[in-house]
Amino acid sequence: MRLRVAWLWLLCAWLPLAPAWAQGDSADGEEAAVAHKIEVAADEPDGAPVTTDPLTDDGRKVVPIDPRAAEGPAPGVLAPANSAPPENPAFTPARPDGLPFTCEAAGVVDVATGQILYGNDLTKRLHPASTTKILTTLLALEAIEAGEVKMSDMVAISQTARETPESALWFWPGERMTLHDLLIGVMVRSANDASRAVAEHVGGGDAAVFVERMNTRAAELGAVNSHFMNPHGLHVDLEGRSAGGDDHYTCAYDLLLFTMAAWRFPFFRELCLMDGQFVTQGMGAEPKALPATATSPAFAAPPPQPAWRPVFNRNRLLAVYPECIGVKTGYTRQAGSCLVAAALRGERAVLAVTMKSASGSERWAEAEALLRWGLDEWVTQPVLLAGQPLVDVPVRLGAQPSVQLVAEESIDAVYPRDAVPPLPRLEVVAQVRAPVEAGRVLGQAVVELPNGRSQTVELHAAQSVDLAPLVRGVRTALMALGVGLLGVVWHGARTEARRRRRRLLAARRGTAHPRRPRSR
């Protein structure tokens, strides 16, 4: 009996140690390294995270890095509206003619990173005029992508769409046109009747459904000051009432947001550059002469169908600024002259927006100045490279004394041309216990961006680190001992059970089980 108690005592003492030796690892605080927010701690147990700023080295094994090789920009997501750099009089856009900007709101954004390079009243509520059609085109392209409609759909032009005033393609009664050509009319000709026809088709025959989707999609994209009453941008509601136009508004930030969302579609980028395009004069009713109406001029009978209708781009910046690649103009009396423009130099593109400029000529000059400033004064610089060794973390009980941490992905950011990018801040665990698998997250790198935001990337173990040979041997011995102890306990329990059964059988038969004499 005393022998069995001794074996049980040894087993109880060994069991708490066995898992740690068997796994060779612990979770005493190390999991905090995986979280996005890592607390700074001076004296923490093994595995606890520690934050080290390379600029103010506190003695730990975290070294400053200064990568200079570019891997190419990642697709950008527009930064929050309040993250534009503070206006610095010594570093803001200026017109070549030295005149002040007349627009009431303006902004510049880098397309690849989504960084806002300049902002002036980005969230001020203003009327967008025909720049509304950027969101209209975005919703149509997303509907095509989702399979709800097709580019080749023949869209019947309703009487309501045909009577939409101002800039138009001047459809004939009963005319039909492909959705592809209608979108050319929307973005290139800035046709209001084509915008209404697209809205009715994508909205399942109801333009009101499409306008509701415009507002829903704007909110999903993160718009901060937008509400739409129609798909074309006139200062009216869907019924043509001017009183509803006051509820049709947006801001410079939201226009950049919509353009960034649409920019991923190759056809959208093609539309921005189109000029002198011909669209089919669609199939439909027999053409005939039309009398003048309140909104449409008189038309003579057109030539036999099918024919071609020329469409010319209203963005004059495409003709005067070689780097310009779009995007959309807008004008109404309430909105003034508006423009969302893009420019490409090499592989780097920037977007600029101006709202409510004093005149059309001011609009062109101001947009060009913003685009040139974004390309001339800002450059993309690599801050962190994927796979680059950054820091060594000590490994306890490992075959190697430490493991290298590498960044999961590259980080590129846009900085002023003469600025030196700040070094990343490394937040890593103080040490880790073997074994360590390659790819295990053991920290993160934080990169401070010029607009006050930061970008974080996880740091992974570059290679696996196994237990040291001696530790493996001890672990194997302990495991063997544990198995042996379990076998002894099991055998003793089984033997005792057999004895009890024999005693019970002997008692039932009335005979005492003979006990073995104790040896002296």
Task: Map 413-454 to HEC letters.
Answer: EEEECCCCCCCCEEEEECCEECCECCCCEEEEEEEECCCCCE
Highest mean pLDDT among 134-143, 245-254, 311-320, 490-499: 134-143
C-alpha–C-alpha distance, residues 466 and 469, integer Å: 9
- Read off φ and ψ for residue 347, nearest 5 degrees: -105, 5
Q: Which CATH class is domain 88-126+313-383?
A: alpha beta
Structure tokens at 360: 């059309």
Burial status of residue 404 (CB atoms within 10 A of its CB: 0-12, 13-18, 19 or more): middle
Residues 6+ apart with CB under 8 A from 406: 386, 387, 388, 389, 390, 459, 460, 462
C-alpha–C-alpha distance, residues 443 and 377, integer Å: 34
C-alpha–C-alpha distance, residues 357 and 126, integer Å: 12
C-alpha–C-alpha distance, residues 372 and 358, integer Å: 20
Q: Which CATH class is domain 129-250+277-311?
A: alpha beta
Residue 76 has a pLDDT of: 58
8 — pLDDT class (breaks 50, 70, 90): low
Higher-confidence position of 435 and 13: 435
Residue 287 has a pLDDT of: 41
242 — pLDDT class (breaks 50, 70, 90): confident
| Mean pLDDT of the residues in the chain | 78
Residues 6+ apart with CB under 8 A from 488: 7
Q: What angle do CA 356, 361, 363 make, to 5 degrees?
A: 35
pLDDT at 215 over 50: yes
Among 226, 235, 232, smallest CA distance to 257 is for: 226
pLDDT tens readout for residues 354-393: 999 999 889 999 999 999 999 999 998 888 888 888 888 8
Domains of the chain by residue range: 1-18+467-508, 25-70+385-461, 88-126+313-383, 129-250+277-311
C-alpha–C-alpha distance, residues 220 and 208, integer Å: 19
488 — pLDDT class (breaks 50, 70, 90): confident
Q: Give SS3 for 471.
A: helix
C-alpha–C-alpha distance, residues 131 and 415, integer Å: 29
Residue 163: count other Cβ atoms within 10 Å of its Cβ. Answer: 16
C-alpha–C-alpha distance, residues 109 and 449, integer Å: 14
C-alpha–C-alpha distance, residues 50 and 319, integer Å: 56
What is the residue-wise DSSP string for 394-414? EEETBSSSEEEEEESS-EEEE
Residue 319 has a pLDDT of: 92
DSSP tag of 152: T
